[in-house]
Amino acid sequence: MEKITSAGLTWNAEPLKTGFGFKGGSLTELWQVTCRVSTDAGRSASGQSVQSVLWSDAAVFARLGQTAGNEKMLALTRYALSLLPGMALEAPPVMLEKLLPEVLAMGRRLTENQRLRTTFALNALTGVDWALWKLYRGTLGDPDFGTLAAPYSAYVGGRQAALGSIPLVSYGTSEEQVLDLAAKGCFLFKIKIGANPGGRNDPEEMLAWDIQRLARLHGLLSTLETPWTESGRPAYYLDANGRYDTRERLVRLLEAVDKMGALDSILLLEEPFPESDLRDVTGLPVTVAGDESAHSAEDAVILIEELGYRAMALKPIAKTVSVSLAVSQAAGERGAPCFCADLTVNPTMVELNKRFAAGLAPLPGLKRGVFETNGEQNYQNWRALCRQSPAYGEVWTVPRQGLYPLPEEYYAKDGGIWREQ
């Protein structure tokens, strides 16, 4: 059996166009990390990741700030890579099961936070996991993604003819920008809720801000038409990032949304409650999806069977391909649809997310599969990053009226995800 002989990383900080607000905080840059792993068979592979401390553990971000938080996560990735030399190259889910407990324990020491969220460790491990998948694929004769993933999930083997692009409407996205996205053919809008107006973390101020924001956006979008939803109108995907503290307050939001005539337009409501205080969502008039709180298949089962969640956001580009496959299997067995969400990743990682999403069935209420990508909206140097992608220039990298075409050539090349930069 092949053994790993060395592992290391390189990184750089990519500036964002403006402050990117969510979870009550704001980012100005995202650190891009490339992990490289080599084996005693003379083979090596790289895996990219994008760090998001604010997304993975907002408490760490609030205490340490952007730069120090990123430094801690980068140190954690280095630690994970230091564990690899001497290990046998096995199936990445098996290797991740061995690595994650040690990496999470080290993360808690590095951040001096014994309640560090597992998502922080998974974010740090994403590039490591992807490099291991590339190497492991080589030991099996380089099968395509669907064949490689099949033993771990029976729900990622589809072949969508096209995928819709889900744009992100953050706190600072202007109404003009929203209308421009609609004009480009976008039909499912991810809207960040849970704002922190005035920085006071007042839940009543948050609720009032969210209601006003949704009313304005619904006024803009409700008169438009699209062929790709069952309703014929643009649909909404609300992302609370765990900012709502009680079910009662969430119900008040949904009642206000119903009064403005927007309730039927909400396709998904993602992660309304903090992971430390999850609530039962049974009976809510919208489909509630899990994201940060699903670190494993076991977490997904609890969310679905015990708490009433009815969909799962997958993040192969933020919580590892290995975990995403496990969650998709657990969700699929229980009839909960899945979709791929973004972490504002670079174009190379967009292609990995796209290839995963291409195998999923469309969400109920949509006539096309979808996946989220918002990097073009947020990266200052997006065009330069596109030129660095191994898939640069391919037909499937450019959306046409909101849809990324996925011809047979796309599947023959697996979207270019195995190519090295």
Torsion angle of C-alpha atoms 320, 362, 284, 199, degrees rounded to 10: 50
- Examine the pLDDT at 47 and tell me if it is beyond 90: yes
Percent pLDDT > 90 in the chain is 93
Give the per-residue pLDDT at 19.
Answer: 87
CB atoms within 10 A of CB 382: 15
- Examine the pLDDT at 288 and tell me if it is beyond 80: yes
Percent pLDDT > 70 in the chain is 100
- Examine the pLDDT at 128 and tell me if it is beyond 80: yes
- Cβ–Cβ < 8 Å for 414, 355: yes
Give the per-residue pLDDT at 158.
Answer: 96
- Cβ–Cβ < 8 Å for 52, 343: yes
In this prediction, residue 22 has a pLDDT band, given cuts at 50, 70 and 90, of: confident
Mean pLDDT of 230-247: 96
Alpha helices in 189-345 (DSSP H): 203-221, 247-259, 297-305, 321-333
Identify the three-state secondary structure at position 7: strand
Q: Where are the domains of the chain?
A: 4-142, 149-416
Specify the amino acid at residue 269.
Answer: L
Burial of 151 (0-12, 13-18, 19+ CB in 10 A): exposed
- Return mean pLDDT, the chain: 96
Give the per-residue pLDDT at 349.
Answer: 98
How far is it, in rounded angstroms, from Cα 104 to Cα 114?
10
DSSP 337-350: -EEEPP-S--HHHH
Token output for 311 = 């969909």
Q: What is the pLDDT of residues 350-373, one digit of tens each?
A: 999 999 999 999 999 999 999 999
How far is it, in rounded angstroms, from Cα 265 to Cα 94?
41
DSSP 96-107: HHHHHHHHHHHH
- Cβ–Cβ < 8 Å for 352, 340: no
Give the per-residue pLDDT at 70.
Answer: 98
Give the per-residue pLDDT at 20.
Answer: 85
Pick 4-142's CATH classification: 3.30.390.10, 3.90.580.10, 2.60.40.10, 3.30.9.10. 3.30.390.10
Give the per-residue pLDDT at 263.
Answer: 98
How far from 327 is each of 105, 139, 293, CA to CA, in Å? 23, 25, 11
How far is it, in rounded angstroms, from Cα 50 to Cα 79?
17
- Examine the pLDDT at 24 and tell me if it is beyond 80: no
Nearest to 135 by CA among 95, 97, 104, 99: 95
Strand partners, 196: none
Give the per-residue pLDDT at 267.
Answer: 97
DSSP 243-280: ----HHHHHHHHHHHHHTT-GGGEEEEE--S-GGG---
Give the per-residue pLDDT at 199.
Answer: 86
Mean pLDDT of 54-83: 96
- Please tell me the total number of residues recorded for the chain in this structure: 421
How far is it, in rounded angstroms, from Cα 328 to Cα 325?
5
Q: What is the pLDDT of residues 182-225, one digit of tens each?
A: 999 999 999 999 998 988 999 999 999 999 999 999 999 999 99
Mean pLDDT of 227-237: 97
- Cβ–Cβ < 8 Å for 21, 195: yes
Pairing of strands 162-166, 403-405: antiparallel
Q: Does domain 149-416 have CATH number 3.20.20.120?
A: yes
Token output for 116 = 């560090």
Give the per-residue pLDDT at 182.
Answer: 96
Across the beta sheet with 403-405, the strand order is 168-169, 188-192, 235-239, 266-270, 288-290, 311-314, 338-340, 369-372, 162-166, 403-405
Give the per-residue pLDDT at 198.
Answer: 85
Give the per-residue pLDDT at 421.
Answer: 76
* 410 Cβ contact partners less than 8 Å away, ≥ 6 residues apart: 358, 394, 395, 396
Give the per-residue pLDDT at 8.
Answer: 98
**Fold: same for 4-142 and 149-416:** no
Q: What is the pLDDT of residues 387-416, one digit of tens each?
A: 999 999 999 999 998 999 999 999 999 999
CB atoms within 10 A of CB 203: 15
